[in-house]
Amino acid sequence: MTTARRVLVHSDKQALAGAVAARFITKVVDLLDQQATVNIALTGGTVGIAILQAINDSSARDSIDWSRVSLWWGDERWLPEGDAERNDTQARAALIDHIGVLPESVHPFAASDAGLELDAAAEAYALELAEASETGDFPRFDITFLGVGPDGHIASLFPDYPGIQVTDATVVPVRNSPKPPPERLSLTLPVINASDRVWLALAGPDKASALGLALAGASPYEVPVAGVEGRLRTVFFVDEEAAAEVPAELIAVEY
Say how far apart CA 146 and CA 42 lie, in whole Å: 7
**Closest alpha carbon to 148 in 216, 232, 204, 78:** 204
Count up the domains in the chain and report the number. Answer: 1
**Closest alpha carbon to 16 in 198, 202, 155:** 202
Domain assignment of residue 49, yes or no: yes
Predicted confidence band of residue 254 (pLDDT cuts 50, 70, 90): low
CATH assignment at residue 32:
3.40.50.1360
pLDDT tens digits for 3-34?
678 899 999 999 999 999 999 999 999 999 99
Domain assignment of residue 1, yes or no: no
pLDDT tens digits for 162-188?
999 999 999 999 999 999 999 999 999
Query: Which residue segment(s) compose the domain that 134 sits in?
Result: 7-223
Domain assignment of residue 215, yes or no: yes
pLDDT tens digits for 81-109?
999 999 999 999 999 999 999 999 999 99
Domain assignment of residue 244, yes or no: no
